[in-house]
Structure 1
Amino acid sequence: MGLPPPLRTGFSRLLAARLSLMHALNFLGVGFYLPFFPVWLASTGLGDVDIGYVLAIPILVRVFVASSVTGLGDRLRPNILLALLNGLAALIYFALAQQSQFLPIAILTALSAVALSGVVPLADVLTTEQVKAGALRDYGRVRLWGSVTFVLSNLAGGYLIAQHGAWLIPFVLAGSSSLAALAALQAPSPPGGVSPAVSQGASAAGFGLPFWLAVGAAACVNATHAAVYAFSSLHWRSIGFSGETVGWLWAVAVVAEIAVFLVGGSIAASGLVGLRWIAIAAIAAALRFGVMSVDPGLAVTVLLQLLHGITFGCMHLGTLAALSALSPGARRAAAQGRLVAVSALAMGLATILSGYLYRLFGPGVFLAMVPIAVLGLILAALAILKARGNTGFGGRI
Structure 2
Amino acid sequence: MLNPSPFAWVSQYLFGFFFAYGVYLPFWALWFEDQGVSATDVGMLMGLGFATRCVANLLITPRIHQVERLLPALRWATLACTLFIAMHLAAGANIMLLALVTVLFNLSFGPMVPLSDAMANHYASRGVLDYGRARLWGSVAFIAGSSVVGYLASQYGANMIVYTALAGFVLSMLLVMRTPINPPVSEASHAAERPSLKSLLCDKEVVRFLVLIALIQGSHAAYYSFSSIYWKEAGHPESVIGYLWSLGVVSEVLLFAFSKKWFAGWSLRTLFVVSSMGVIVRWGLTASTVALPALVVIQLLHGVTFGIAHIAAIQYIQKSEANKMVALQSLYNAIPLGAFIALMMAVSGWGYEQWGANIFWGMAFMGVLALFIKVEPKSKPVKDIKEFSQPEPQK
Pair in the same fold by TM > 0.5: yes
**Is 1:221 paired with 2:221?**
no
2:137 aligned with 1:145: yes
Partner of 1:115: 108
Q: Is 2:333 aligned against 1:340? A: yes
Q: Shift of the alpha carbon at 1:54?
A: 4.2
CA distance in 2, matches of 1:115, 1:291: 36
- 1:82–1:320: structure 2 CA closer, same or farther, 3 Å change rule? farther
Give the secondary structure class of the aligned counterpart of 2:60.
Answer: helix
Partner of 1:5: none
TM-aligned CA deviation for residue 123 of structure 1 = 2.7
- The secondary structure found in structure 2 opposite 1:74 is coil
**1:31-42 matched pairs, under 5 angstroms:** 31-37=22-28
Per-residue CA shift, 1:176-213, capped at 9, x if unaligned?
33433454564677785584438xxxx63335445554
* CA contact 1:22–1:180 (8 Å) conserved in 2: yes
**By how many angstroms is 1:259 displaced?**
1.8
Residues 16 and 168, structure 2, Cα contact 8 Å, conserved in 1: yes
Structure 1 residues 81 and 214: alpha-carbon distance in aligned structure 2, compared to 1, 3 A threshold: farther
Q: Distance in 2 between matches of 1:213 and 1:287?
A: 23
Match of 1:179 among 171, 176, 182: 171
Q: 1:309, CA displacement in angstroms?
A: 1.3
Provide structure 2 residue ranges, at least 5 long, that are not aligned to the other structure: 385-395
* Residue aligning to 2:53: 62
Shift of 1:240: 6.8
Q: Which moved more, 1:248-257 or 1:233-242?
A: 233-242
Equivalent position of 1:71 in the other structure: 62
Q: 1:204 to 1:229 in 2, by over 3 A?
A: closer
Q: Confirm or deny that 1:310 pairs with 2:301.
A: no
Q: Percent identity, aligned pairs only? A: 24
Q: CA deviation at 1:300?
A: 4.4
Classify 1:372/1:168 alpha carbon distance in 2 versus 1 (closer, same or farther; 3 Å).
Answer: closer
1:395 corresponds to 2:371: no
Q: 1:354 aligns with which of 336, 348, 351?
A: 348
CA contact (8 A) 2:149 2:160 kept: no
CA distance in 2, matches of 1:147, 1:267: 20
Partner amino acid, structure 1, of 2:307: G
CA distance in 2, matches of 1:245, 1:169: 15
Aligned residues of 1:327 and 1:335 also touching (Cα < 8 A): no
Is the CA contact 1:144–1:261 (under 8 Å) kept in the aligned structure 2?
A: no
Quote the Cα distance in structure 2 between the aligned partners of 1:235 and 1:42: 11
1:40–1:167 Cα contact (<8 Å) kept: yes
1:58 CA displacement: 1.1
Structure 2 CA distance for aligned equivalents of residues 166 and 158 of structure 1 = 9
- What's 1:323 paired with? 317
CA spacing shift, 1:273–1:19, aligned 2, 3 Å: farther
Between stretches 295-304 and 278-287, larger displacement belongs to 295-304
Q: Is the 8 A contact 1:63 1:345 kept in 2?
A: yes
Displacement after TM superposition at 1:308 (Å): 0.8
Q: How does 1:157-196 map to 2 (within 5 A)?
A: 157-158=149-150, 173-181=165-173, 183-184=175-176, 186=179, 195-196=189-190
Secondary structure class of the residue paired with 2:277: helix
Match of 2:78 among 62, 76, 86: 86
In structure 2, the CA distance between the partners of 1:244 and 1:19, relative to structure 1 (3 Å rule), is: closer
Shift of 1:327: 7.1
Question: How many residues are matched?
Answer: 370
Alpha-carbon distance between aligned partners in 2 of 1:299 and 1:211, rounded to the nearest angstrom: 39
1:258 counterpart letter in structure 2: V
Cα offsets for 1:48-69 (capped at 9, x unmatched): 4766654443123123332122
Letter in 1 for 2:196: G
- Which region of structure 1 is more displaced relative to structure 2, 106-115 or 93-102? 93-102
3-state secondary structure, aligned to 2:140: helix
TM-score (norm 2): 0.73
Rounded to whole Å, the distance in 1 between the matches of 2:103 and 2:237 is: 35
Contact 1:233 1:246 in 2 (8 A): yes
Q: Name the SS of the counterpart of 2:191 in structure 1.
A: helix
- For 1:368, what is the secondary structure of its paired residue? helix
Q: 1:318 to 1:300 in 2, by over 3 A?
A: same
Root-mean-square deviation (Å): 4.3
Alignment of 1:189-204 (within 5 A): 195-197=189-191, 204=194
Q: Which deviates further from its counterpart, 214-223 or 122-131?
A: 122-131
Q: Is the aligned partner of 1:205 residue 2:195?
A: yes
Per-residue CA shift, 1:130-158, capped at 9, x if unaligned?
5566655553x433322321232234335
Higher helix fraction (1 or 2): 1
Q: Higher mean Cα deviation, 25-34 or 289-298?
A: 289-298
